[in-house]
Structure 1
Amino acid sequence: MHKIKIIIIGFLTVMISCTTDFEETNTNPNTTNVGQIKASGMFEPLLYNGGNFWLNYTWYWNNELVQFTAFTGGTTRQEHRYFISDANWQSVWNAYSRYGNNVTHMYDLSVEQEDRSLEAIAMTLKVLYMSNLTDMFGDIPYSEAFNARKANGTTKPKFESQKEVYEQMFEDLNTANAIYATNPVFEKPSLDGMYGGSMDKWRKFNNSLYLRLLMRVSGRPEMNAGTKISEILNNPSLYPIFTSNADNATVVFSGNDPYRSQFADTNEGTLTSSGRKLTEQLIKMTVIKDINDEQTYVDPRLPIIGKKNPSLSTNPNNIWKGTIAGVSEQNQSAADRGSSWLNTAVLARVNAPATFMDYAEVQFILAEASLKGLIPGGPTEAKQYYENAVTASVQKWAEYGQFSETPVTITDSDITELLQSDLASWDKATNTAELIGNQKYLALFWIGMEAYHEYRRTGYPVLTVGDGAIFNDYILPTRFAYPTTTLATNSKNAQEAIDRMGPNTMKTPVWWSKQAISGGN
């Protein structure tokens, strides 16, 4: 293990020193010749570090933007008030670009070395990382990105419209699917902490990711999302997708160094109690109160992802309480008093996994597609997909209930009770589209930036912007702006993108969003 650690740390040093963001890649092209590194040597750091990157961003960015949590332990972090600076934009741009760059390098190596398994995986991972970059910023380089090391490469890649980027990502996913179909051999299964080198599993992830991105652009008729989703569903042998939680794209950490979770060494104060508390938004979507304000029912997932504030002085009634996202500084102390925490015992274990995508999300996608008539089935099929989705989400979290300070057990009857409750009942809902959106939001907890992306696409759940969210004029950021370094080093192409999209601010909506399509908030 000590030798493995040295190898991985040494290799990561090479990766970090030679590949960072678009700008650094374009001005300092990676001079490593293709063939000097084995493609398999790049895979493991991309997978494990990528999983930890997903965990960090869901905690740091996603949860604060979509009101799962709010940092109310002071003013050192004010993302929930939309205080997001150019340095933040640069950091996020660099992070996704770094992974896009490295996975592109792995792809080049795999082609040169005729490693078809890693060629397909590289394409899947490229789409995973680059879809998040475009969903955060809008128009980005894609076809010309990260090719400065090549003979005909460019140091100033063109920015393509988000529509063009999505079309190319779909093409890459289709190409990867065809490669997986040949069942290439993954040479070192022990390197794969997600699927153990199974091409069948990677293929399901690839095509489930395709469904995610098709739903993302489903509001744009020119993308023919419904036709493509139907093609996938009607051809399961050609397009296998997730069929149970056993297929989830989850990176499993052993807990042994260096295969440790992002939060392995994070204490409760750093993770939650000194800063990030659960919000009113999350609590009201997972707890039912009676007319006397007594809490009469709790979503069985809540005690696994969260923890009641243990201080009887601030939480004398021992209830689930949320703080206010976007609360003003003057009201922060009062709002914070007694607020519930993230469940550190569950979320910050050394071997706590990281999930890129799960089966529940696939079922939510199909529920929405059925309800909207994108695929056949209508409300009847939509209900079945929806209940499958909620069940899968609860069952996924149920596996982690054993790690809570007070172990949590969830039974089938608990799931039935949830599906019959006012929180999640299909038959009681007056707006089933909103129900799907709300429950999908809860199911996307702790999965990268997905809840943020989905909120901008659907407008669900309905969020209340706090009176302290002054830094973007009380508007939840609709995108991240291009950082000044990008504007300076690739000004012509970046400016063309801005001219297409609109002002380079956090108020300009991305192309696939509800706001861009209909003007809705």
Structure 2
Amino acid sequence: MKSLHKLLLVLGLPALLLTTACTKDFEDINTDKNKSGEESGVPEYNFSRAVLEFTGNSDYSYDTWRVNIIYCSMMMQQLSNATWYAGDKYIQNDGWASAYFERAYPDQVKYITDVVRVTKDNPFQANLYNIARITKVLIFHRLTDIYGDIPYSEAGKGYSDRIFDPKYDAQQDIYLDMLKELDEAAKALDATKQIPGQGDLIYNKGGAQNATQVVANWKKLAYSLMLRLSMRLTKRDEALAKSWAEKAYAGGLISANAENAYILHDATGGRTTVNRVSNILSGEWNAINTPGEASISKTFMDFLKNNSDPRLQYIAVVPASNSEVPADQLGMPNGYDTNGSSSPTDITKAPGYPGDLKKYSVLNKNVLLKLNGPSFLVTYAQTELLLAEAAKRGWNVGASAATHYNNGVKAAMEQLAQYSATATISSEAIQTYLTAHPYVDADGYNQINTQYWAACLLDWYESWSNWRRSGYPQLTQINYVGNATGGKIPRRMLYPSTELASNPTNYQEAITRQGTNALTTPVWWDKQ
């Protein structure tokens, strides 16, 4: 045993002497150069990840499926369901209604918050920092529109600040801060500085664009998003809405479809890179090929057919015949089921039932539902239609309501070509439509916002939010047996039940301030 102690002493002595001699370099010596950390990380990766997750690319896409498709698309009566999707019948399913909240914080907020934090004081990443601030607004904008008061100022800080029970900020405060962030970030973008490379999936796809163009486009996105946020305030504070809308217009907005904010997906990269709406409706989950699961709503179809809309030939197809001919298309009414002949709401009892669910039209997968197709975030069409409403309200946004309206409708029709070159609508066909359906100021709010509804196809989150704000289009609501809202279209989704257990104090403060955690409780900007 004594021999063993002597051996250990001899072996340990050089190490002890070495450690004593090199104390001044202790931290450097004891830092693992091969270990990944924030200082050796690539914030562009987290930026790309946040944008991908925003378009619904978390595994299994529960947020996209449950909130965007099952609830929003059906509530907004662009799609219809007679099987198990209960969104157009306003049935409460807590798991579906809370899915976006549950996925957005770990899959979007965490990544974008980290990018903002690690780039904030790095002058070489100043543009990425400000681009990330704009993207952060994009992410929280949708979240707060869906749920109202949410964790915002303390969100995403579990790792950095050890905040595991973030407070819920009031939506009014969130909106004011988001507008401020957009204003500051847009002004701070600088084309003379380094820009993100191909990690910018929105405006530097492939990393081939020059700094001047990338910065210009991000500025336009910031101001176009500012316009959208400002218009959300019209029911609450029209003077404030006017102020921010005019500031957005003066800053410079998206002015062509070539400047649309969108990402292109990768059909070969696996579940987390494909277009998730497409994957649910026509890919892996293939909802449109399950009869009655995701048909085009009669409400939307009637709008397209009754107005001889040139988009119809590219939007719809009849599964039974594979026909794309507009005259053959048929929309399925919302609010029906397949509960059997004894049920008064069985689809076979719907007026004009064609005898086969496959005779109801579905979205054309060859145009709208490609796995490598685009996910649009903010578009020229949406921007022009919001400007049309701003002009109707008498605000200083450059042109008349009619001019902005015509620009918006034209842009929405031409935008289909960005899904597929085969879906190109001629300028003559567009002009024919506008001549037959001229802007009429007395019906302006209806016309503008109904066209906005049509322009938001596939982005049903945005369609639902603008409908809650504007009240248009005027939808016939469904009083289905067992619904949770008294036959009224829901005004918000639900917080997860886990929040009551994991963050009870802040959760309860939000409930006290905003109202019951119910589908019928309006968010702040939705209250008169």
TM-score by length of 1: 0.81
Equivalent position to 2:392, from 357, 371, 394: 371
Matched, 1:416 2:431: yes
Picking from 486, 492, 516, the partner of 1:479 is 492
Partner of 2:21: none
**Structure 1 residue runs without a partner (length 5+):** 1-31, 289-296
Contact 1:271 1:342 in 2 (8 A): no
Shift of 1:461: 0.6
1:171 is the counterpart of 2:180:
yes
Map residues 232-247 of structure 1 onto 2, 5 A cutoff.
232-234=248-250, 239-247=251-259
Answer yes or no: is the 8 Å Cα contact 1:147–1:154 preserved in 2. Answer: yes
Gaps of 5+ in 2: 1-35, 58-62, 208-213
1:325 to 330, 334, 343: 334
Specify the SS of the correspondent of 1:498: helix
C-alpha separation in 1, matches of 2:312 and 2:258: 22
2:131 aligned residue: 121
Which residue in the other structure is 1:503 paired with?
A: 516
- Contact conserved, 2:381 with 2:407, CA < 8 A, in 1? yes
- 2:86 corresponds to: 78
SS of the residue corresponding to residue 224 of structure 1 reads: helix
Q: Deviations over 1:315-351 (max 9, x none)?
A: 9996221111122543343246431111111122232
Q: Aligned equivalents of 1:61 and 1:183: distance in 2?
A: 45
Once the two structures are TM-superposed, the CA of residue 37 in structure 1 deviates from its matched residue by 2.1
How far 1:183 moved relative to its partner?
4.5
Structure 2: distance between partners of 1:286 and 1:127:
33
Q: Distance in 1 between matches of 2:139 and 2:196?
A: 24
CA shift at 1:223, angstroms? 6.2
Distance 1:139 1:130 in 2: 11
Kept in 2, the 8 Å contact 1:69–1:277? The answer is: yes
Residues 1:448 and 1:158: Cα distance change in structure 2 (over 3 Å): same
Question: In the TM superposition, what is the alpha-carbon distance from 1:148 to its structure 2 partner?
Answer: 2.4
| One-letter amino acid of the structure 2 residue matched with residue 244 of structure 1 | A
> Alignment partner of 1:168: what SS?
helix
Match of 2:149 among 122, 139, 142: 139
Give the C-alpha shift of residue 33 in structure 1. Answer: 5.4
Secondary structure at the residue paired with 2:150?
A: coil
User: Is 1:383 paired with 2:402?
Assistant: yes
Secondary structure in 2 matching 1:227: helix
1:402–1:183 CA distance, 2 compared to 1 (3 A): same
Equivalent position amino acid for 1:245 in 2: N
Which of 202, 206, 214 in structure 2 is aligned with 1:194?
A: 202
Greater alpha carbon shift after TM alignment, 53-62 vs 361-370 = 53-62
**More displaced 10-residue stretch of structure 1: 158-167 or 343-352:** 343-352
Alignment-derived partner of residue 463 in structure 1: 475
Q: Which residue of 2 aligns with 1:284?
A: 302
Q: What RMSD, in angstroms, separates the aligned Cα atoms of the two structures?
A: 2.7
- Read off the aligned partner of 1:221 and give its amino acid letter: D
Once the two structures are superposed, the pairs formed by residues 14-413 of structure 1 within 5 Å of their partners are 34-53=38-57, 58-72=68-82, 74=83, 76-98=84-106, 99-111=108-120, 113-114=122-123, 115-151=125-161, 153-181=162-190, 183-188=192-197, 190-196=198-204, 198-221=214-237, 224-234=240-250, 239-257=251-269, 259-262=273-276, 263=278, 266-267=282-283, 270-274=286-290, 275-288=293-306, 298-311=308-321, 319-328=328-337, 329=339, 330=343, 331-334=345-348, 335=350, 337=357, 338-375=359-396, 381-400=400-419, 402-403=421-422, 408-413=423-428
Structure showing greater Rg: 2
% identical aligned pairs: 25
Q: Distance in 2 between matches of 1:469 and 1:65?
A: 16
Distance, in Å, in 1 between the alignment partners of 2:168 and 2:238 is 21
CA drift at 1:218:
2.2
Q: Is the 8 A contact 1:142 1:159 kept in 2?
A: yes
Query: Alpha-carbon deviation of 1:507?
Result: 0.7
TM norm structure 2: 0.80
> Per-residue CA shift, 1:294-328, capped at 9, x if unaligned?
xxx6311122222134349x999962211111225
CA distance in 1, matches of 2:324, 2:402: 38
Higher mean alpha-carbon deviation, 112-121 vs 367-376, is at 112-121
Q: Which amino acid aligns with 1:46?
A: A
Secondary structure of 1:471's counterpart equals coil
Pair 1:123–1:399, CA change in 2 (3 A)? closer
1:359-408 alpha-carbon deviations (Å, 9 max, x no partner): 0111011100110123367xx700000000000000111444545xxxx5
Matched position secondary structure for 1:250: strand
Match of 1:7 in 2: none
- Deviates further, 488-497 or 261-270: 261-270
State the 1:71 CA deviation.
Answer: 1.9
2:452 corresponding residue in structure 1? 440
